[in-house]
């Protein structure tokens, strides 16, 4: 039976590549196809455990008709997996059995319970709740299991069962067979699991009281206080605990009764939004809505549907989000819940904003604002003022947007709403950037980044860094821009946020282009073009086409650039994006001027100038004026070029953009003192 292996078996698992290589080696040369698609799954079914991998490889070696697919199909059945992982000399289950029978009773009890817990790993505080004992004893028992190679430790202070050990613990038999004494300290196995779930529910609420203090105060904790509570003195500790326990909490919420599911949905909601995890939030809140419906709790159902709708907004499913918010609105109105009605209207307005239906968004926000004010709800008022300001921003009413934002900022600071303040600072920075006031935008975005960092709001940090990356690139600080983009991309990847990386990669592509790496920029942009089309993001698709045209120009491919510009212009005209249309017209004018067609170029530059003034973009106006001036220079009328060029340089300087250097150089050469007949353009 190979029981001598039991004392030397270590649970340090192999990487997937190492695991498949071990199976190949044991199976023998030329036994397995190089590209066998089932081999990775087989390795995973063996838990990447060397002993199990060797057994699988040996079976393939000695049974020539057995395929990897056949063996994987056999091991998919959890009920028989362990019995199949044995041969004449080795037996995985027997190794575990020998270790198990050699342990003390309390160690055996813990192993059995660990096989039944929701989630993957556990810390000593949760183990203490599970066992109904002290933190010290729980930690001591976990360390004993670690010494016996029955648990692993990938992170200090956290313990997990190997997949095959978990399967062994679950298939030991009935409680009476596996546990002759039939108890675990203060109760049976079911009672132990209930204590663990109570622990998760209580501590999640405690952590949420730091992450979203105002929202958490509206919820009560309907479970016993655990005997042992981890120290969570501040926001940082709360976030650290939530991040470590996130998967366990989600598993607990989805494997318990409806009341606990609803409670955990509430406690995790703000954290999942803050971490940028909408898909996990969607699963949780959908379960909470079903649980509330099962309980006949209409208000709870409305709250869960609202949270689900917010997750859908973050996932880009605006149609689904709108339908959920309409359901939420109907439920709140049916209950006569004016506060809930106002919140649903505010959220529905957000959806309309994302759909670019700004009049509908404004109507919803104005209705919400009236209700919030009638209720004296200052936070609701602040949120709605901020949302209305964003609508004004889209209408190019920057003064109105800034005024509304400042009023909301006062409210957030009065209430101590740090996240609202951070969001507002970010938005005010975006408004200044839209007006091409880059120094003011940079100051506000730096403040926003600091505020997000103070809150531990990783999604906000990434968004602020991404926006700052674009801004630093515009001012010519390319090393800082690259560092900001890299940091934002790393955070987006860590939290699994899907749309942010597109914007970062687009920013990096422009950075490559500005620093003379046209081919590297083209590679990024070609993939982005595919991504934008698949996601249906037409405005960014137009930007990618425009930037690809700029790459083609940098590489000397004028014909390729012309084709891309024509496609970009058609798209921006279809979607009515005047800012992007002005940019495309400017680049088209530059191409025409470069191909000795100054009259056509002048038409493009004048159209771009009209659009720039309409959308109130100083930078777009500066570019168009510079283009008009260059047309005059090409025609030999240097005097006519000077007024437009002077105005362009003034606008470039005012914005703080780096791209004004070429215009300043041209102006210097054209000024009367420096004008000569040998100057060529």
pLDDT digits (tens, 9 = 90+) for 498-523: 788 999 999 999 999 999 999 999 99
pLDDT for 11 equals: 52
> Is there a contact between 192 and 111 (Cβ–Cβ < 8 Å)?
no
Q: Average pLDDT of 233-246?
A: 94
Query: Residue 497: is its pLDDT beyond 90?
Result: no
SS3 label, residue 590:
helix
**Highest mean pLDDT pick, 58-62, 220-224, 329-333, 671-675:** 329-333
Token pair listed for 96: 């575990």
Spatial distance between the Cα atoms of 337 and 169, rounded to a whole number of angstroms: 49
Average pLDDT score over the chain = 90
**pLDDT tens column, 616-646:** 999 999 999 999 999 999 988 999 999 999 9
Query: Residue 1: is its pLDDT beyond 90?
Result: no
Query: Residue 272: is its pLDDT beyond 90?
Result: yes
pLDDT for 119 equals: 87
For the chain, the domains span 3-94, 98-194
Sign, CA dihedral 187-189-193-194, equals: negative
Sign, CA dihedral 285-290-296-298, equals: positive
Q: Which carries the bigger pLDDT value, residue 151 or residue 376?
A: 376
Q: Average pLDDT of 666-675?
A: 75
Q: Which carries the bigger pLDDT value, residue 355 or residue 289?
A: 289
Query: Residue 57: is its pLDDT beyond 80?
Result: yes
DSSP string across 604-669: HHHHHHHHHHHHT-HHHHHHHHHHHHHHHHHTT-HHHHHHHHHHHHHHHHHHT-GGGHHHHHHHHH
Predicted structure pTM score: 0.79
HEC secondary structure over 272-300: HHHCCCHHHHHHHHHHHHHHHHHHCCHHH
Query: Residue 183: is its pLDDT beyond 50?
Result: no
Token pair listed for 394: 């889209």
> Is there a contact between 309 and 271 (Cβ–Cβ < 8 Å)?
no
> Is there a contact between 27 and 64 (Cβ–Cβ < 8 Å)?
no
Residue 67: is it exposed, middle or buried by C-beta count within 10 angstroms (0-12/13-18/19+)? middle
Query: Residue 677: is its pLDDT beyond 70?
Result: no
CA distances from 97 to 64, 93, 165, 240 (A): 31, 6, 10, 36
Catalogue the long-range contacts made by 318-323 (C-beta closer than 8 Å, 24 or more residues apart): 318/351, 318/354, 318/355, 321/347, 321/351, 321/354, 322/348, 322/351, 322/352, 322/355
HEC secondary structure over 227-282: CCCCCCCCHHHHHHHHHHHHHHHHHHHCCCCHHHHHHHHHHHHHHHHHCCCHHHHH
Maximum distance among all Cα pairs of the chain, rounded to whole angstroms: 105
Residues whose CB is less than 8 angstroms from the CB of residue 379 and which lie 6 or more positions away in sequence, other chains included: 214, 411, 415, 417, 420
Query: Residue 681: is its pLDDT beyond 50?
Result: no
Q: Average pLDDT of 215-221?
A: 80
CATH number belonging to domain 98-194:
1.10.10
Spatial distance between the Cα atoms of 125 and 157, rounded to a whole number of angstroms: 10
pLDDT for 253 equals: 95
Q: Average pLDDT of 481-494?
A: 94
Query: Residue 177: is its pLDDT beyond 60?
Result: no
Q: What separation, in Å, do the N-terminal and C-terminal C-alpha atoms of the chain show?
A: 87
Q: Give the whole-number percent of the chain exceeding pLDDT 90.
A: 69
Question: Beta strands 158-160 and 121-122: pairing type?
Answer: antiparallel
φ/ψ of 40, rounded to 5, equals -60, -40
pLDDT for 49 equals: 87
Residues whose CB is less than 8 angstroms from the CB of residue 660 and which lie 6 or more positions away in sequence, other chains included: 622, 648, 649, 651, 652, 653
Q: How confident is the model at residue 229 (pLDDT cuts 50, 70, 90)?
A: very high
**pLDDT tens column, 547-580:** 999 999 999 999 999 999 999 999 999 999 999 9
């Amino acid at each position: 039976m190979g029981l001598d292996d039991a004392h030397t078996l270590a649970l340090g698992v192999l990487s997937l590549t190492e695991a498949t290589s071990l199976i190949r080696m044991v199976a023998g040369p030329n036994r397995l196809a190089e590209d066998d698609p089932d081999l990775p799954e087989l390795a995973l079914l063996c838990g990447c455990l060397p002993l199990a991998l060797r057994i699988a490889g040996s079976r393939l070696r000695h049974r020539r008709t057995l395929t990897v697919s056949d063996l994987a199909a056999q091991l998919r059945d959890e009920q028989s997996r362990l019995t199949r992982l044995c041969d004449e000399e080795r037996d995985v289950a027997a190794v575990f059995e020998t270790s198990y029978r050699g342990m003390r009773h309390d160690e055996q009890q813990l192993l059995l319970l660990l096989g039944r817990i929701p989630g993957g790993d556990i810390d000593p505080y949760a183990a203490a709740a599970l066992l109904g004992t002290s933190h010290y004893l729980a930690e001591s028992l976990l360390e004993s299991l670690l010494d016996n190679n029955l648990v692993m430790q990938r992170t200090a202070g956290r313990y997990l069962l190997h997949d095959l050990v978990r399967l062994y613990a679950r298939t030991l038999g009935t409680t009476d067979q596996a546990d002759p004494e039939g108890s675990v300290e203060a109760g049976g196995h079911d009672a132990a699991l209930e204590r663990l779930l109570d622990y998760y529910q209580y501590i999640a609420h405690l952590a949420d009281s730091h992450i979203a203090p105002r929202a958490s105060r509206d919820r009560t904790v309907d479970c016993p206080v655990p005997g042992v509570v981890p120290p969570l003195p501040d926001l940082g500790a709360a976030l650290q605990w939530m991040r470590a326990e996130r998967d366990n909490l989600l598993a607990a919420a989805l494997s318990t009764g409806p009341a606990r599911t609803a409670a955990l949905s509430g406690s995790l909601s703000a954290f999942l939004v803050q971490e940028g995890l909408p898909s996990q939030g969607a699963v949780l809140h959908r379960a909470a809505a079903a649980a509330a419906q099962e309980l006949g709790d209409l208000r709870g159902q409305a709250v869960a549907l609202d949270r689900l709708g917010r997750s859908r907004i973050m996932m880009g499913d605006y149609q689904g989000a709108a339908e959920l918010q309409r359901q939420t609105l109907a439920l709140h109105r049916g209950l006569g819940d004016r506060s809930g009605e106002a919140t649903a209207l505010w959220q529905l307005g957000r959806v309309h904003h994302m759909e670019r239906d700004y009049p509908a968004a404004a109507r919803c926000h104005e209705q919400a604002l009236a209700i919030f004010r009638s209720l004296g709800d200052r936070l609701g008022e602040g949120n709605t003022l901020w949302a209305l300001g964003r609508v004004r921003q889209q209408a190019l009413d920057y003064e109105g947007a800034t005024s509304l934002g400042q009023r909301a900022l006062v409210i957030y600071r009065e209430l101590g709403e740090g996240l609202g303040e951070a969001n507002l600072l970010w938005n005010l920075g975006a408004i200044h950037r839209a007006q091409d006031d880059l120094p003011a935008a940079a100051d506000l975005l730096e403040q926003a980044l600091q505020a997000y960092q103070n809150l531990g709001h990783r999604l906000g940090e990434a968004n602020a860094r991404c926006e700052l990356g674009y801004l630093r690139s515009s001012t010519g600080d390319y090393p800082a821009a690259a560092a900001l983009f890299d940091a934002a991309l790393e955070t987006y990847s860590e939290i699994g946020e899907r749309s942010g990386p597109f914007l970062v990669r687009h920013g990096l592509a422009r950075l490559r282009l500005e620093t003379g790496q046209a081919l590297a920029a083209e590679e990024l942009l070609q993939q982005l073009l595919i991504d934008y089309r698949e996601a249906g993001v037409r405005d960014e698709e137009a930007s990618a086409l425009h930037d690809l045209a700029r790459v083609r120009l940098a590489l000397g491919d004028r014909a390729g650039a012309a084709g891309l510009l024509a496609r970009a212009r058609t798209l921006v005209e279809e979607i009515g994006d005047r800012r992007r249309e002005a940019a495309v017209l400017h680049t088209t004018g530059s191409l025409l001027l470069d191909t000795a067609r100054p009259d056509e170029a002048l038409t493009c530059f004048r159209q771009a100038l009209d659009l720039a003034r309409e959308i109130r973009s100083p930078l777009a106006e500066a570019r168009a004026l510079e283009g008009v001036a260059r047309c005059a220079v090409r025609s030999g009328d240097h005097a006519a070029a000077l007024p437009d060029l002077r105005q362009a340089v003034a606008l470039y300087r005012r914005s703080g953009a780096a791209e004004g250097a070429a215009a300043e150089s041209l102006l210097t050469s054209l000024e009367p003192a420096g004008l000569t007949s040998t100057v060529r353009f």
